[in-house]
Amino acid sequence: MTKLVVATGNPGKLREMQAYLADSDWELTLKPEELDIEETGDTFAANACLKASQIALATGNWAIADDSGLQVDALNGVPGVYSARYGKTDPERIARLLKELGDEVNRGAQFACAVAIARPDGAISLQSEGICRGEILYAPRGNGGFGYDPIFYVPEKELTFAEMTPDLKRSISHRGKAFASLLQQLEGIREK
């Protein structure tokens, strides 16, 4: 197995990535706690590449990073790359978003995710992106997931991300789609 350092200190995100890559021969591990990469990119892809590259260089190992967030149509894509910094806690972020949307009728939104893998020399080997369209509810529903999941409703499933089973969410989510694309490219990457 080849070590793949995940550019996050979040054990939940590590578990989620492990589930996506369960059938691969990569051994995922969290980045060292002291390594903190500032997300200065203006797109999800730029931030994913930045984090993967810097973690690879700092550790001398293959590294994987993702960046994702919520883009709300009526707010011109906000909160976008600032999704995690839109408030101090998930409830604060949700409350701010719902307040800013107010009674807006156009509730269209999408979750977007970009994933990047860097070689030990910091060069980006693979990138993929995924999008899941949905709508923003007027009030939270469901107890699962994290972040904006309780207000992100997927009409085709008639559920919010927070109401879905982990397997269902994984199969249709922005991150799931990005990883599905990545897995198709992953075979043979170490020979490059």
| Residue 97 in tokens | 């978003």
Secondary structure (3-state) at 94: helix
- 144 phi, psi to nearest 5 deg: -90, 180
Alpha helices in 25-147 (DSSP H): 44-59, 90-101
Go through 115-147 and write b for each residue having 16 or more CB atoms within 10 A of its CB, e for each that does not. bbbbbeebebbbbbbbebebbbbeebbbeebeb
Residue 130, CB-side half-sphere exposure with 13 Å CA sphere: 21
Query: At CA 144, angle to CA 17 and CA 30, rounded to 5?
Result: 25
CA–CA dist 102, 12 (Å, integer): 31
DSSP letter for each residue of 14-53:
HHHHHHHTTTSSEEEEEPPTT-------SSHHHHHHHHHH
Write out the catalytic residue numbers: 67
